């Protein structure tokens, strides 16, 4: 199948074989989504890790499938996944696959639909290829550096303008409550368990602003970061900084995503009135 960016990806370095990598990424993520969907809403073996984070047997199966599919052609690429033991050799790799086998495992186990498969190829700390797949709704979000972003092959764009009053906003409840102190007219969006999907909705223009708590990790963010960037928006720290991936510690602080003009207006307003967000 001809990749949606075929006419544009060719402008990227030919030596990287970008077309093949892009096809490989989309095919692998679709296959992973099909695997996860077959087990969805069936009895699953589950357990917890770390600070009570849920894991299912499907997370592990999807992780194994993606690792096999994505590393078989380019074994020199590094690998970072939520469900794999961290191999620190990735830190010396220029290109790294960063994967969340199921972003929104809690929703997946509960039988809710807002979970995704998220994968990105990161080069020198920034994503260059990205796929976020929502299997239940059959939505495939794809992006490549300099080539735009699509959902099911149709170009997507973040919402334009800089108005904050009336903006559709998604994020943790406490952040929405604080933001409402500044702009009571904001339109809160029901929680989206998959952080990657929450940010993809910004790239798609269905949400104007999305927030993330200060515990997002590379695998939650890398693919969605490229999607929103290529759709005319940005994902930044609350100080406006660009995210860097494949660091020794893959955890990020509080973040916001929006169209570029709206994000600049948001950051300026938060700097001017920080006391109202306490």
Full pLDDT tens readout for the chain, 278 residues: 334 444 343 333 344 578 889 999 999 999 999 999 999 999 999 999 987 889 999 999 999 999 999 998 788 999 999 999 999 999 999 999 999 999 999 999 999 999 999 999 999 999 999 999 999 999 999 999 999 999 999 999 999 999 998 999 999 988 888 888 888 999 999 999 999 999 999 999 999 999 998 889 999 999 999 999 999 999 999 989 999 999 999 999 999 999 999 999 999 988 887 554 44
pLDDT of residue 12: 36
Closest by alpha carbon to 195, among 142, 143, 134?
134
Q: How far apart are CA 264 and CA 90, in angstroms?
A: 33
User: Is the CATH code 3.40.190.80 the one for domain 168-277?
Assistant: yes
Q: How far apart are CA 223 and CA 80, in angstroms?
A: 13
Angle at 113 between CA 190 and CA 235, to 5 degrees: 55
pLDDT of residue 205: 98
pLDDT of residue 278: 45
Closest by alpha carbon to 221, among 123, 119, 129?
119
pLDDT of residue 18: 83
Instruction: Assess contact for 201 and 228: CB atoms under 8 A.
Output: no
pLDDT of residue 133: 98
Q: Residue 196 burial (CB < 10 Å; 0-12/13-18/19+)? A: buried
State the DSSP code for 7: H
String of DSSP letters for 102-140: EETHHHHHHT-S--EEEEEEEETTEEEEEEEEETTTTEE
Angle at 21 between CA 63 and CA 219, to 5 degrees: 40
Bridge partners of 216? none
Instruction: HSE, CB side, 13 Å, CA atoms: give it for residue 110.
Output: 10
Q: How far apart are CA 227 and CA 56, in angstroms?
A: 27
User: What residue ranges do the domains of the chain occupy?
Assistant: 6-155, 168-277
pLDDT of residue 274: 59
Domain range 6-155, CATH class:
alpha beta
Q: Could you tell me if residue 240 is left (phi over 0), alpha (psi between -120 and 50 degrees) or otherwise beta?
A: left
């Amino acid at each position: 199948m001809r990749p949606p960016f075929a006419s544009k990806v060719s402008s990227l370095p030919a030596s990287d074989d970008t077309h093949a990598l892009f096809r490989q990424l989309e095919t692998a993520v679709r296959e992973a989504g099909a695997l996860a969907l077959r087990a969805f809403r069936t009895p699953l073996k589950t357990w917890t890790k770390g600070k009570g984070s849920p894991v299912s047997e499907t997370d592990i199966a999807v992780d194994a499938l993606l690792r096999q599919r994505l590393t078989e052609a380019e074994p020199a690429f590094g690998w970072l996944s939520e469900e794999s033991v961290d191999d620190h050799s990735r830190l010396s790799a220029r290109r790294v696959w960063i994967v969340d086998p199921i972003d929104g495992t809690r929703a997946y186990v509960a039988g809710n639909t807002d979970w995704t498969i998220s994968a990105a190829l990161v080069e020198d700390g920034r994503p260059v290829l990205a796929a976020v797949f929502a299997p239940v709704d059959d939505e495939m979000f794809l992006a490549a550096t300099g080539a735009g972003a699509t959902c099911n092959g149709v170009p997507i764009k973040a919402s334009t303008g800089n108005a904050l009053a009336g903006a559709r906003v998604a994020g943790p409840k406490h952040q929405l409550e604080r933001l409402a102190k500044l702009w009571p007219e904001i339109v809160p969006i029901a929680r989206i368990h998959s952080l990657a999907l929450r940010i993809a909705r910004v790239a798609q223009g269905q949400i104007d602003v999305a927030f993330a708590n200060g515990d997002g990790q590379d695998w939650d963010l890398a693919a969605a970061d490229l999607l929103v960037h290529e759709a005319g928006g940005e994902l930044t720290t609350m100080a406006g900084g660009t995210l860097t991936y494949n660091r020794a510690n893959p955890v990020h602080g509080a973040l916001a995503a929006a169209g570029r003009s709206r994000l600049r207006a948001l950051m300026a307003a938060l700097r001017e009135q920080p006391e109202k967000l306490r």
